[in-house]
Structure 1
């Protein structure tokens, strides 16, 4: 979609231009991945984007042969080479960047996302819900679900499989998140016909609608060591409708959309009677998802 078309469909009272960068990181080529991502970040900034989201593990690639390889490709935050490059770009361009990154913290590895802005490093998020072989390399996230207060609104992060858990979006919405940034490496889902809407897209739209949050999904493309990725990056409004995308299943591209915080926050009012957060039955379950009675875990 042309930028002008994307912005037109997003509404008549624009506020913030956001960009989802769909690219193809190369496993083991951190320097090349940084260079390519910076090229696309520059392009997005030149088009007016104030927020740019990169895919999951954009520094390292995804399919590791061993923990030793994953460890060698990971880097500390915020001082690693790719992290420093993205933080410098955010300062120089006066934008916000959310980038998926393989993080090394001592002897532990995390599937993380760096958050940077015009004033530098804002913090990080560590993926809570690991997928498949990620369990062989990474620890589950231990930073919870932080909110980053910025001049463009309250930003939050979820990574890929986190989006399969409605609790993630609900807890972020309860903390006042305006925009959920989702670096992702979506893979084909079992049983899904080729022409069907991607399950990941359906879940993002449902999560946005049910919680009144905008979601910026940045996926990768390509096949890495036999693992295919589906592309189809997407930017979803707080009403649950696509603002831009789905992107191509195979090509690098940048999606753009406008997000207006006033309209977004109003989207939680479905009509004169219903509000997606206010209508929760907190006489049956507490506001932060506790049940009040023990549940078995099997």
Structure 2
């Protein structure tokens, strides 16, 4: 509030970068080195929140669980998180990146959040897609929202975005933004040349929850599987503020936003507020009634 009691509008803005890249299957050291090159490029352009694709350190299309296990590492003690922590500290930025995580004998398709002072937390993909079920355990950490110096950050991975609960539970916990490391693939019924269905879902989720969504996809074809590209950053209104990127090239998307505006703008008019208007008396058990409210 200013001295007159009115709300100020000069809220600190954060420059977000979504890095669209092409990792190589099993080439962990080279993939991480390449990601650091791209993070350096984003930092040079002023990015303070950087999002990398799903499983960007390991590649995606594993032939066996043994191959996936060989490309995995513990979090946060492994070399990938250490390397990413060093670059985040160097540039004083926050980083969300997909990683093949090993926890004892279990493997998880995970994403880490790292800040200027090091590792902050982990999200484990909740909804596994296709043959991921052969290699990974379903995520067991729920949908945490991490409070950071730049804003409240939620995370989802790829197929999690097909479930409205993913974004709604993040919003109910006060998230300003959900970062989405992803490996989108063509889906049945998709006409040639149409935008990725994931783009449409991200735009709808951002609008219906009043949150920013930043999606970093990969490109290329890996063992016969093509990927969609089309990374994008979506405003809390549901409209893209950067992207969609191309389908087939490595790219860097940038958008400068005031993250806190996502929560302020949830009051659409004198009568309607998108989270407050939920009829939780009718569908309370379906949509996370145990989540603490009052942050939106």
2:25 equivalent to 1:27: yes
- Paired residue for 2:163, among 162, 165, 172? 165
- The aligned residue for residue 209 of structure 1 is 207
CA shift, 1:148, in A, is 0.8
> Taking structure 1 as reference, are residues 70 and 262 closer, same or farther at Cα in structure 2, changes over 3 Å only?
closer
Structure 2: how far apart are the matches of 1:16 and 1:155? 13
2:201 equivalent to 1:192: no
- The aligned residue for residue 122 of structure 1 is 120
- The aligned residue for residue 7 of structure 1 is none
- Paired residue for 2:66, among 45, 48, 68? 68
CA shift, 1:290, in A, is 5.3
2:197 equivalent to 1:221: no
Does the CA contact (< 8 Å) of 1:171 and 1:288 recur in 2? no
RMSD: 1.7
- The aligned residue for residue 18 of structure 1 is 16
- The aligned residue for residue 53 of structure 2 is 55
Does the CA contact (< 8 Å) of 1:20 and 1:54 recur in 2? yes
Structure 2: how far apart are the matches of 1:263 and 1:146? 20
2:146 equivalent to 1:174: no
- The aligned residue for residue 248 of structure 1 is 246
CA shift, 1:82, in A, is 1.2
Q: List alignment gaps of at least 5 residues for structure 2.
A: 1-8, 291-296
Structure 2: how far apart are the matches of 1:287 and 1:137? 31
Aligned ranges 1:146-161 → 2 under 5 Å = 146-161=144-159
Q: List alignment gaps of at least 5 residues for structure 1.
A: 1-10, 293-298
Does the CA contact (< 8 Å) of 2:48 and 2:92 recur in 1? yes
CA shift, 1:269, in A, is 1.9
> Taking structure 1 as reference, are residues 172 and 43 closer, same or farther at Cα in structure 2, changes over 3 Å only?
same
Moved more, 76-85 or 16-25: 76-85
Q: How far does the alpha carbon of each residue in 1:212-233 deviate from its partner, in whole angstroms, 9 at most, with x for none?
A: 1100000000000000001000
Moved more, 13-22 or 156-165: 13-22
Helix, strand or coil for the counterpart of 1:285?
Answer: helix
Q: How far does the alpha carbon of each residue in 1:80-105 deviate from its partner, in whole angstroms, 9 at most, with x for none?
A: 11111111111111000000000000
CA shift, 1:272, in A, is 2.2
- The aligned residue for residue 83 of structure 2 is 85
Helix, strand or coil for the counterpart of 1:129?
Answer: coil
Structure 2: how far apart are the matches of 1:12 and 1:194? 43
Structure 1: how far apart are the matches of 2:152 and 2:277? 22
Structure 2: how far apart are the matches of 1:25 and 1:252? 10
> Taking structure 1 as reference, are residues 14 and 189 closer, same or farther at Cα in structure 2, changes over 3 Å only?
farther
Aligned ranges 1:98-113 → 2 under 5 Å = 98-113=96-111
Does the CA contact (< 8 Å) of 1:284 and 1:291 recur in 2? no
CA shift, 1:62, in A, is 0.1
TM-score, normalization by structure 1? 0.92
Does the CA contact (< 8 Å) of 2:108 and 2:136 recur in 1? yes
- The aligned residue for residue 270 of structure 1 is 268
- The aligned residue for residue 295 of structure 1 is none
CA shift, 1:262, in A, is 3.7
Q: How far does the alpha carbon of each residue in 1:185-242 deviate from its partner, in whole angstroms, 9 at most, with x for none?
A: 0000111112222100000000100001100000000000000001000100111110
CA shift, 1:12, in A, is 9.1
